[in-house]
A and B are shown apart, each in its own frame.
Chain A
Amino acid sequence: MIWNKEMECADRETMRAVQLERLQATVKYEYENVPYYAAKMDKAGVKPEDIQTLEDIQLLPFITKEDLAANYPTGLFAAPMKDIVRIQSSSGTTGKPKIVGYTQGDMDDWGEAVARGLTMCGIGANDVAHISYGYGLFTGGLGAHAGAEAIGATVLPMSSGNTARQVMFMQDMKSDVLCCTPSYALTIAEAVEKAGIKPEELQLRAGLFGAEPWTQSMRDKIEKGLGIRAHDIYGLTEITGPGTATSCIENNGMHICEDLFYPEIVDPNTLKPLPVGETGELVFTTLCKRGMPMIRYRTRDICYLMDGKCACGRTSIRMSRVFGRTDDMLIVKGVNVFPSQVETVIAKFEELTLNYKILVDRKHNSDTIELMVEFADGLEIDDIEFVENMKRRVEHALRDILQIGCKVRFLNAGTLPRSEGKAVRVEDRRKYE
């Protein structure tokens, strides 16, 4: 089943025409209604009428999270408050949250986007949608809710928490699809096992998981533990919320609702656009939003785009899973390095733990990168050959992923300092004076 065949299966030419028309309207509307962005455009020497082709989008200035912070709370709203029917919010990195306003039209489009995603999971009007994302300012709960309502499913607005009750409702109400964060899905799967319930006793058949990065091993555990097929859903509050893109049954990238959200990939260093297939920073332009349109919003997420018709029948452009965030990106010997890449390598070795630190330095005018990683507790080491072999294997695996040499240093289990909040994974000792 495809929710909106006209948009999801459009040929390229039709889609580009839709996108251009909507882009032109959005830019004009933004220029007339958001003085801050109009000033940015003036400074860049670009007028709304300069947007003659889709490629002309490159003339437009970016919007960043710093712009949102500078315009807190509602400086980037384009519609008057009487037309704003909803506020959602996500945490900002510098204290002040990001505030996003939606018109009724924006709300309808959000529901439309999630409806497409739920349909990709094989969910329809006869199904029970179990929504365990948090409800509130966070877009997860109410976003999934809007989509489930749009397809006419029976909505269970569970919100997160009280896992025993989640399992009870899942069983008694015969939930068909679970919508939550992957880590919470894992918690629910563990609770199901603990309760002595076999996955095949549940009616559940699909899961729509997003809002945080997750690994293949988490996916395997969730799919097995709940007896479902897991789908990725991507989105961010600034753009609308979950549903910007969702993976279909083929599990080969997430289909972007590109008639609503126009994607670009840019080089995070030069901000120059990159061709389809190349990895860089994802940039979105909303094409229909009126509450708070975003033009060339830098998501900070690193991924690549995939074009061509998917085996599921959709023609919409797809995005890969997110590899990392530009905020965490290191440039070592001119190569972009993400802690998440290092983490994937570490996770492959059961002899190691995810307690690690990346040390970057500059010696004799050349960058050095070193990984300090703890051995797994209880590992029995009586053999220097074992240690040297491990070192060779880990360094080799790192070079494969990072494309540069990274020295590995093993530490005794429990020796790296533990942090209470977000772990400090990177220490950059380079000095630039």
Chain B
Amino acid sequence: MAVKQVSIFLENETGRLADLTEILAENNVDLNAVTIAETGEYGILRCIVQNPEEAVAALSGKGFMASITEVLAVAIENKPGAVNQVLQALADAGIGVKYIYSTIQSAKGEAAITMKTTDQKRAETILKNAGVKLCEMEDLK
């Protein structure tokens, strides 16, 4: 049920991010979700796109180190406490969250959160048992 995320290493320089999105635009890559983890000098941009392999190939040829990481994406109802339900289930099972970010809301009005945990396999089982809906790539369009 894992979703494929593209991770890209970035030097923290003005314009570097625009260089990257330019390549994505040229290759017709639609960003469904995007987040950046950064220090003063570096960033790692993580994004969900529908054609991750093509995005990686396009970026690799242009001086960006891009790779694919499997992450979990879960559908979230648009109401208070929805995110907490997911995270509480993981916390109770002793699973840590390495990072988490939300996708752009889909046309259907649904949202999803994407995350990487300390134990992806168990997290998947725990969440399924908790009645959380796990998303496929196309759910994130």
- Which residues from chain A sit less than 8 Å from chain B, CB to CB? 375, 377, 379-384, 387-388, 409-415
CB within 8 Å of A: which B36-54 residues: 37-39, 41-42, 44, 46
Given contacts A384-B37, A387-B9, contact A413 B42 (CB under 8 A): no
Q: Is the CB of B63 within 8 A of A412?
A: yes
A-B contacts, 19 listed (Cβ < 8 Å): A375-B9, A375-B65, A379-B65, A379-B67, A380-B68, A381-B7, A381-B9, A382-B5, A382-B46, A383-B44, A384-B37, A384-B39, A384-B42, A384-B44, A410-B11, A412-B63, A412-B65, A413-B65, A414-B63
Given contacts A387-B44, A388-B39, A409-B41, contact A382 B63 (CB under 8 A): no
| Across the A-B interface, the 3 shortest Cβ-Cβ residue pairs | A380-B67, A382-B7, A382-B69
Q: Is the CB of A380 within 8 A of B63?
A: no
Q: Is B101 an interface residue (CB 8 A)?
A: no
- Which residues from chain B sit less than 8 Å from chain A, CB to CB? 5, 7, 9, 11, 37-39, 41-42, 44, 46, 63-65, 67-69, 98, 116
Nearest residue (CB) in A for B98 is: A383
Q: Is the CB of A387 within 8 A of B65?
A: no
A379 vs B37: C-alpha distance when bound (angstroms) = 18
11 new A-B contacts, CB < 8 A, other than A387-B44, A412-B9, A413-B65, are A375-B9, A375-B65, A380-B67, A380-B69, A381-B7, A381-B65, A382-B7, A382-B67, A382-B69, A412-B11, A413-B63
Nearest residue (CB) in B for A386 is: B44
Residues of A within 8 A of B37 (CB): 384
Q: How far is the CB of B68 from chain A (nearest CB, A)?
A: 8
Which of A377, A379, A380, A387 is in CB contact (< 8 Å) with B42?
A387
Q: How far is the CB of B118 from chain A (nearest CB, A)?
A: 12
For chain A, what secondary structure do more than half of its interface residues adopt (helix, strand, loop), or is it mixed? loop
Residues of A within 8 A of B69 (CB): 380, 382
A158 vs B44: C-alpha distance when bound (angstroms) = 54
Residues of A within 8 A of B42 (CB): 384, 387, 410
A413 vs B65: C-alpha distance when bound (angstroms) = 7
Residues of B within 8 A of A409 (CB): 11, 41
A416 vs B88: C-alpha distance when bound (angstroms) = 46
Residues of B within 8 A of A415 (CB): 63
Nearest residue (CB) in B for A380 is: B67
Nearest residue (CB) in A for B65 is: A412
Residues of A within 8 A of B9 (CB): 375, 381, 387, 410, 412
Q: Is the CB of A380 within 8 A of B39?
A: no
Residues of B within 8 A of A388 (CB): 39
